[in-house]
Amino acid sequence: MREWYRRFALMSFSLLILNSTLVSSPVSADGEVDNWPDSDALLSIELLSWTANQTEEWDSNNGTPDPQFRICIEADGVNVDCINTPTWDEQWTLVNPWNMTIDIPDSSNILNITIECEDNDALNDDECDMNSAHDEWKLFAEYNWSATPIFSLSGNGDGDGNGTWKNAASEWRFSITSDTDGDGYSDQIDAFPTDSTQWADRDGDGWGDDADGNNSDAFPDDPSQWEDSDGDGYGDRPVIPNGDFFPNDPTQWSDFDGDGFGDNSDGNNGDQCPGLYGDSTPPEIRGCPDTDNDGVADPFDAFPEDFYQQTDGDNDGFGDNQAVPNGDAFPHDSTQWQDSDGDGYGDNANGYAADDCPGEHGTSKRDRVGCPDFDGDGYSNLVDPFANDPTQWADSDGDGYGDNQDGNNPDAFPDDPSQWEDSDDNARDEAIGGSDFGIVGTLGCGVVFIGFVLVVVLPLMSKPKETRRKVNPIYQPSLAQRQHAEAQRLRNLLAQQQHQSIQLQQQLSQQSVSAKEIESVKSQLAQLHKEKVLLEAELEKETKSSTVVQNVQNITYNIQDSAIAGDLKANIEQEDK
């Protein structure tokens, strides 16, 4: 019985060992052992680095090497495949790592790997060549992949066994992996091991580089973009530099100022101010700032914060719109902008055609500008002694008669205050300058006068002389004339006083006047006011006196005329006798 137990235990242990062997190394139908039972075994070949010795001559013309490698794989002595790598032109050092995957027999164990370098230059193909020359660059390795799936190989190219090889340090890695999706790329290097349509993802954004595969990357070298819904060449993600801020509009893609209007002015809802944030919607100023909402964008609005003003043609700081209180009354004159009295002359005393009376509407333009001028003759009432007569404006001698000979009541003697008329001047000129009949009449009168002198006057002169009273009239201005002249003088003084007061008031309105100057001006104004009161009182007094004197003078003239006439009559009667 004990023997039976011993035999049973030995048999069970043998079956356990056999079962373990079968599980760990499955055997195919033809009796071969599958060393990679999960899937098909693939050999991944990676060139990690390669650096050539720059002291060596790689080309007969001393050029930079253009390395290309040929890799041949044998499995258990049987040739599997030979592959060529890309050519790296004009490089001393490998810039980009390279990898490749080939299928190997799952039942194999020992891999023999041969790597040869070729300096791929058609005219100078004599170094780093894939031949048996003694200076050939060559690496060789052998390893059991079933026992060691990953194997690294480093060398400097002395695999030909000759000491004159080209010295170039290199590093390679070989590893066994699977190809789950069967696309020919091992799972180890396949960015999409379960997608047979994709295997590479250069920018690492999770979208495949194959444009014809699933979830292809429209921007394979930009990790921030992968789709372009509207096909305008900009990615759907709104990020700089390749992002599309309008992913569904092929006419717009960027929005520099972030106002929601595309920078392409010719596209849909184009921003007319792409560099300025704005919410204006009218097409001509779309996307522009309009602070005062007057319809004119701030960059083109001379007054961006004034709804009623937009332009300033003369650049004086006052808007051209005259329909509002702050409008420029003179939009084409940079020296004037305000006209308080509305007479067409500006208030700025330092500007062009400044108003001398800014607080009074006036049309004067000869002596002063913009002052009252009742008769419209161009001279202000301040200096016009005939303020209601447009034909007269000056009276040099102050006698009340105008200097303009073509006006009303002209002064025949403008510089003589005692004379203003010459009644017989025109009659005498007319008689002398008449027709031939007038000349003959004048000659006839002359003959008669001569006869009168000979017959009447000479006999009288021959008689004894008698004492007679001589009348020698010497002109003296009448009292009325003097009163009139004095009244006119007072009026002129009042006009000058008023003009001086206006000038002082203008000085007070200027901001640049100091406090001391203001007090001085006020003092002068007060003195002028006192003088004005005295002048007005004196003028009123002179006016009343002139009226009384004129009446008295008229009576005196009548008496004097009567007396003179009586004396003359008595003398004539005496002479007649």
In this prediction, residues 373-397 reach a mean pLDDT of 92
Residue 72 has pLDDT above 90, yes or no: yes
In a domain, 263, yes or no: no
Higher pLDDT, 28 or 365: 365
Higher pLDDT, 132 or 403: 403
Residue 353 has pLDDT above 70, yes or no: yes
In a domain, 132, yes or no: yes
In a domain, 547, yes or no: yes
Choosing from 160, 177, 194, the residue where a domain stops is: 177
In a domain, 118, yes or no: yes
What percentage of the chain's residues is helix, strand, coil (to nearest 5)?
Answer: 25, 15, 60
Residue 520 has pLDDT above 80, yes or no: no
pLDDT band at 99 (very low <50, low <70, confident <90, very high): confident
- Phi, psi torsion values for 118, nearest 5 degrees: -125, 125
DSSP letters, 189-229, are T-SSTT-TT----TT-SS-BS-TTSTTB-SSTT-TT----T
pLDDT at 53: 81
Q: How far apart are CA 371 and CA 375, in angstroms?
A: 12
The closest of 55, 155, 79, 68 to 116, measured between CA atoms, is: 68
Residue 42 has pLDDT above 70, yes or no: yes
In this prediction, residues 25-46 reach a mean pLDDT of 73
pLDDT band at 364 (very low <50, low <70, confident <90, very high): very high
C-beta separation of 345 from 354 below 8 A: yes
CA dist 288 to 38, 249, 252, 277, 497, Å? 66, 21, 17, 6, 59
CA angle 551, 553, 556 (to 5 degrees): 115
pLDDT at 128: 65
Range of the structural domain that residue 493 is part of: 482-567
In a domain, 336, yes or no: no
Say what the pTM is: 0.36
pLDDT at 480: 58
User: pLDDT digits over 522-562, tens only?
Assistant: 777 777 777 777 777 777 776 665 554 444 444 444 444 44
Q: How far apart are CA 67 and CA 90, in angstroms?
A: 8
Q: How far apart are CA 178 and CA 148, in angstroms?
A: 15
- Return the exposure string of 386-402: e unless at least 16 CB atoms fall within 10 Å of the residue's CB, then b: bbebbebbebebbbbbb
Residue 235 has pLDDT above 60, yes or no: yes
Higher pLDDT, 472 or 85: 85
Lowest-confidence region among 27-41, 73-87, 174-188: 27-41
> Could you give the number of structural domains in the chain?
2
pLDDT at 2: 46
User: pLDDT digits over 237-271, tens only?
Assistant: 998 888 888 999 999 999 888 888 988 988 998 88
CATH number for position 133: 2.60.40.3510
User: pLDDT digits over 394-431, tens only?
Assistant: 999 999 999 999 999 999 999 999 999 988 765 434 43
338: which 2 tokens? 């305000």
pLDDT at 357: 93
In a domain, 562, yes or no: yes
In this prediction, residues 308-319 reach a mean pLDDT of 88
In a domain, 274, yes or no: no
CA dist 550 to 400, 420, 482, 484, 543, Å? 15, 17, 10, 10, 11
In this prediction, residues 308-328 reach a mean pLDDT of 87
Choosing from 151, 177, 203, the residue where a domain stops is: 177
Choosing from 177, 199, 222, the residue where a domain stops is: 177
Q: How far apart are CA 228 and CA 511, in angstroms?
A: 67
485: which 2 tokens? 């002249």
pLDDT at 508: 61
In a domain, 239, yes or no: no
pLDDT at 160: 54
pLDDT at 282: 86
Q: In the chain, count of helices (H) and strands (E)?
A: 6, 8
pLDDT at 468: 41
Higher pLDDT, 420 or 53: 420
The alpha carbon torsion through 131, 134, 135, 136 (nearest 10 deg) reads 30
